[in-house]
Amino acid sequence: MAVRNKQVILKNYVTGGLPKESDMEVTEISIQLKVPEGIKDAILLKNLYLSCDPSMIDSMRKFETSYVPSFEPGSPLSGYGVAKVLDSTHPDYKKGDFIWGITGWEEYSLIKAPNQFFKIQHMDVPLTYYIGLLGMPGMTAYAGFYEVCSPKKGDYVYVSAASGAVGQLVGQFAKLLGCYVVGSAGSEEKVELLKNKFGFDAAFNYKEEPDLNAVLKRYFPEGIDIYFENVGGKMLDAVLLNMRIHGRIAACGMISQYNLDHPEGVHNLMHVVLKRVRIEGFVVTDFYHLYPQFLEMVIPQIKEGKITYVEDTAEGLEAAPAALIGLFTGRNVGKQLIVVSHDW
Amino acid sequence: MAVRNKQVILKNYVTGGLPKESDMEVTEISIQLKVPEGIKDAILLKNLYLSCDPSMIDSMRKFETSYVPSFEPGSPLSGYGVAKVLDSTHPDYKKGDFIWGITGWEEYSLIKAPNQFFKIQHMDVPLTYYIGLLGMPGMTAYAGFYEVCSPKKGDYVYVSAASGAVGQLVGQFAKLLGCYVVGSAGSEEKVELLKNKFGFDAAFNYKEEPDLNAVLKRYFPEGIDIYFENVGGKMLDAVLLNMRIHGRIAACGMISQYNLDHPEGVHNLMHVVLKRVRIEGFVVTDFYHLYPQFLEMVIPQIKEGKITYVEDTAEGLEAAPAALIGLFTGRNVGKQLIVVSHDW
């Protein structure tokens, strides 16, 4: 018996700046809730929660280079999600398993040759955490901070986009290690979260600061040891002026630059030489082998209330296009996710 | 008995772009060729060869930040040199020693509390090498390439300012390791040197290439693993477009930016994230503990003719201001040095 399968479709490749809601379309097809006869090593998923990630914009563009695969116009978007296995012809997955990994922006997905799905073992935390705190963003914060930033107790740490899916965790990890941590975000509400919920030592609203160099000097009179880079552009330029000798910059993303046809110029790279700074780009997929070790560290901390996580939830696939685009205007407070179904 | 001591004096702090010859002045004072009575731990040097280094420009400006000490207007410039000890009240140095380290731009220097001088042990190579191949630039190439670039056999290596004091060695080290090496320089003469004297696989004149991205794509169809950065600005921007995944950029200097009131913007830093690139600034002084190990490697290679070095020699302190400024216009071919005296 076929059921409705609502989908969020990419209508056309995004050109120029940011995607618009009208670049996507919510449509319906029908689907059988079984892996079709004769297809081996496939799983049929009921998608429960979907993640809105800034990097998805790269896949909405037609890239000539090969390091980011593009979505197919006319097909559903794809991204990280939490799902329940309804049917499986794959030996590693069975009906009833809960998993997280890259799935379709639709109610049900048939995944042939499933790859890099993680089975969810700990069900005593919110399942949405597996696209946030316990999923790709959590691993990004963990790998970026502990593996790329070479942090040590007492370091002066600055996090931009600090209330976002990754930033809120980087700040909490840094506090747990005994660092001094300052975050920036784009509204008073987010700044309050940073200070009162996530325990940052200080936080500021970058939109209220005409002189980023001055605000960084105010919060970091001794300079910055570690910058967890989520935004790029003018912020990076101001940070470079304030780095300490042997400072480290983990370049996780540059969200301020996605909406520009021509990215802003960064003028102060000479400070990389003068202060022997290391800037290192990284992607989380290089670090997934550390996932078990990450869970072992973080799950007890969640249960003890030492780590907290704020999510911004959009209800239903109809709300998905606006939620995704809201990432780039800073509309979301905390990790942006979409509930496809509350029913599992 | 007092003798003449010719000096190159900084007249005023350099403001704005590049220094001019008129920012310096050659004058004479007189000096006793002995450490004055009662001064302990001092040495009196006869300067033989002086080095022109791009980083000296930072000391010709009045810096508010503390990581580069400024020269004193009215006093001689200082920089790396090879000198002979004429008199000493310091237990580590005695009359007749040859040393290299930071000395004055003058015929004779009285150095109180000498610090970071290296005694020259191997006299069977040209003494000028101790401000080039066997001095700070050589150690810069060695540390930057082996310690910062994490090189391995078969890597695609690009060196800018490749015929300069550091670049010519980086290219030769990379060839010795079995890398594919391309260099750029600013004249046909320099390009010929790179290909025919230093054994680069290919070389190009960047001044003849209106599209730096295109020329890099031509020489690196597979992309660049290692970029040894000496110039900054537009070149760095083009390189970022051509880096391979997990590429490394050792940021040694950004000479193209010294003459600009406002450094050029670098627009392609998003590629640091996309391709997980590491950019690392370094200064040679962090690596001087490796100097004995460097000599042990490189001296046999010099003697076997496996490493060669090209110097550009200016005769006499009168020629020193023009030689220093010529660095920034690319006038020098190879390592720029000044002969203060042939007589030792």
What is the least distance, in Å, from the CA of A91 to any CA of chain B? Answer: 33
Q: What totals of helices (H) and strands (E) does chain A contain, helices first? A: 9, 15
Cβ-defined contact of B283 to A269 (cutoff 8 Å): no
pLDDT at A79: 96
Q: Output the six-digit token pair for A276.
A: 């022997």
Cβ-defined contact of B67 to A245 (cutoff 8 Å): yes
How far apart are alpha carbons A278 and A148 in whole angstroms?
A: 10
How far apart are alpha carbons B101 and B109 in whole angstroms?
A: 12
For residue B237, the chain A residue with the least C-alpha distance is A265
For residue A234, the chain B residue with the least C-alpha distance is B265
pLDDT at A176: 97
Instruction: For residue A232, give the nearest of A202, A262, A188, A196 by alpha carbon.
Output: A262
Cβ-defined contact of B280 to A278 (cutoff 8 Å): yes
pLDDT at A185: 96
Residue with tokens 């001055």: A214
Query: Which residues of A fall within a CB distance of 8 Å from B281?
Result: 271-278
How far apart are alpha carbons A45 and B21 in whole angstroms?
A: 74
Instruction: For residue A48, give the nearest of A80, A71, A25, A24 by alpha carbon.
Output: A80
Query: Which residues of A fall within a CB distance of 8 Å from B274?
Result: 58, 65, 67-68, 281
Cβ-defined contact of B277 to A275 (cutoff 8 Å): no
Judge contact between A132 and A163, C-beta under 8 A.
Answer: no
| DSSP 8-state code for residue A155 | -
Percent above pLDDT 70 for chain A: 97
The HSE-up count of residue B197 (CA atoms within 13 Å, CB side) is: 16
Query: Which residues of B fall within a CB distance of 8 Å from A269?
Result: 232, 236, 251, 254, 263, 266
Cβ-defined contact of B267 to A270 (cutoff 8 Å): no
Mutate to test the interface with A, among B269, B272, B284, B288 (most CBs of A within 10 A): B269
Mutate to test the interface with B, among A149, A213, A272 (most CBs of B within 10 A): A272
Instruction: For residue B273, give the nearest of A257, A130, A216 by alpha carbon.
Output: A257
Q: Output the six-digit token pair for A74.
A: 């006319």
Residue in A232, A273, A281 nearest the CB of B277: A281
How far apart are alpha carbons A109 and A104 in whole angstroms?
A: 6
Torsion, CA A287, CA A289, CA A290, CA A294, rounded to 10 = 110
CATH 3.40.50.720 residue spans of chain A: 136-285
How far apart are alpha carbons A88 and A34 in whole angstroms?
A: 8
Cβ-defined contact of A273 to B253 (cutoff 8 Å): yes
State the fold for domain A136-285: Rossmann fold (3.40.50)
For residue A272, the chain B residue with the least C-alpha distance is B281
3 state DSSP class of A223: coil
Judge contact between B136 and B253, C-beta under 8 A.
Answer: no
For residue B234, the chain A residue with the least C-alpha distance is A265
Q: At A110, phi and psi to the nearest 5?
A: -95, 115
Residues of A with CB under 8 A from a CB of B: 58, 65, 67-68, 232, 236, 245, 251-254, 257, 262-283, 286
Q: What is the pLDDT of chain A when averaged over all its residues?
A: 94
How far apart are alpha carbons B135 and A267 in whole angstroms?
A: 31
How far apart are alpha carbons A181 and A158 in whole angstroms?
A: 6
* Sequence-distant contacts of A143-147: CB under 8 A, at least 24 apart: A143/A282, A143/A284, A143/A286, A143/A287, A143/A290, A144/A170, A144/A228, A144/A250, A144/A252, A144/A282, A144/A284, A145/A170, A145/A173, A145/A174, A145/A228, A145/A250, A146/A173, A147/A282, A147/A287, A147/A290
Going by pLDDT thresholds of 50, 70 and 90, the confidence category of residue A334 is: very high
pLDDT at B65: 54
Task: Classify strands A42-51 and A108-112 as parallel, antiparallel or unpaired.
Answer: antiparallel
Percent above pLDDT 70 for chain B: 97
Cβ-defined contact of B281 to A276 (cutoff 8 Å): yes
How far apart are alpha carbons B342 and B339 in whole angstroms?
A: 7
Residues of B with CB under 8 A from a CB of A: 58, 67-68, 232, 236, 245, 251-254, 257, 262-283, 286
DSSP run (H or E) holding A215: helix A212-219
| DSSP 8-state code for residue B229 | E
Residue in B68, B232, B276 nearest the CB of A269: B232
Give the residue ranges of DSSP H helices in B203-306.
212-219, 233-242, 270-274, 291-303
How far apart are alpha carbons A144 and A164 in whole angstroms?
A: 15
For residue A248, the chain B residue with the least C-alpha distance is B280
Cβ-defined contact of A251 to B272 (cutoff 8 Å): yes
Task: Classify strands B108-112 and B180-185 as parallel, antiparallel or unpaired.
Answer: unpaired
Query: Which residues of B fall within a CB distance of 8 Å from A263?
Result: 267-270
Query: Which residues of B fall within a CB distance of 8 Å from A251?
Result: 269, 272-273
Residue in A68, A264, A273 nearest the CB of B265: A264
Cβ-defined contact of A251 to B273 (cutoff 8 Å): yes
Going by pLDDT thresholds of 50, 70 and 90, the confidence category of residue B67 is: low
Domain B2-132+310-339 grouped into CATH 3.90.78.10: no
How far apart are alpha carbons B122 and A173 in whole angstroms?
A: 52
How far apart are alpha carbons A302 and B311 in whole angstroms?
A: 63
pLDDT at B68: 66
Cβ-defined contact of B273 to A254 (cutoff 8 Å): yes
What is the least distance, in Å, from the CA of B58 to any CA of chain A? Answer: 10
CB neighbourhood size of A292 (10 A): 11
Tens-place pLDDT, residues A55-100: 898 889 887 554 567 899 999 999 999 999 999 999 999 999 999 9
Q: Output the six-digit token pair for A27.
A: 């449509």
Average pLDDT, stretch B282-297? 96
**Structure-model confidence comparison of residues A339 and B14, the more confident one:** A339
Give strand ranges (E) for chain B.
Answer: 2-10, 24-32, 42-51, 78-88, 98-104, 108-112, 118-119, 156-159, 180-185, 202-205, 224-229, 243-251, 278-281, 311-315, 335-339
Residue B106 has pLDDT above 90, yes or no: yes
pLDDT at B273: 92
Judge contact between A328 and A116, C-beta under 8 A.
Answer: no
For residue B275, the chain A residue with the least C-alpha distance is A281
Q: At A194, phi and psi to the nearest 5?
A: -60, -45
| DSSP 8-state code for residue A148 | I
Going by pLDDT thresholds of 50, 70 and 90, the confidence category of residue B116 is: confident
Judge contact between B185 and B211, C-beta under 8 A.
Answer: no
Residue B148 has pLDDT above 70, yes or no: yes
Instruction: For residue B137, give the nearest of B252, B228, B305, B276 by alpha carbon.
Output: B252
Residue B66 has pLDDT above 60, yes or no: no
What is the least distance, in Å, from the CA of A264 to any CA of chain B? Answer: 6
For residue B58, the chain A residue with the least C-alpha distance is A274
Residue in A245, A257, A271 nearest the CB of B270: A257
Cβ-defined contact of B279 to A280 (cutoff 8 Å): yes
Cβ-defined contact of A275 to B265 (cutoff 8 Å): no
Mutate to test the interface with B, among A274, A282, A284, A287 (most CBs of B within 10 A): A274
Residues ≥6 apart with Cβ < 8 Å to B340: B47, B48, B49, B50, B81, B107, B316, B317
Going by pLDDT thresholds of 50, 70 and 90, the confidence category of residue B137 is: very high
How far apart are alpha carbons A249 and A266 in whole angstroms?
A: 14
Cβ-defined contact of B251 to A232 (cutoff 8 Å): no
Cβ-defined contact of B269 to A276 (cutoff 8 Å): no
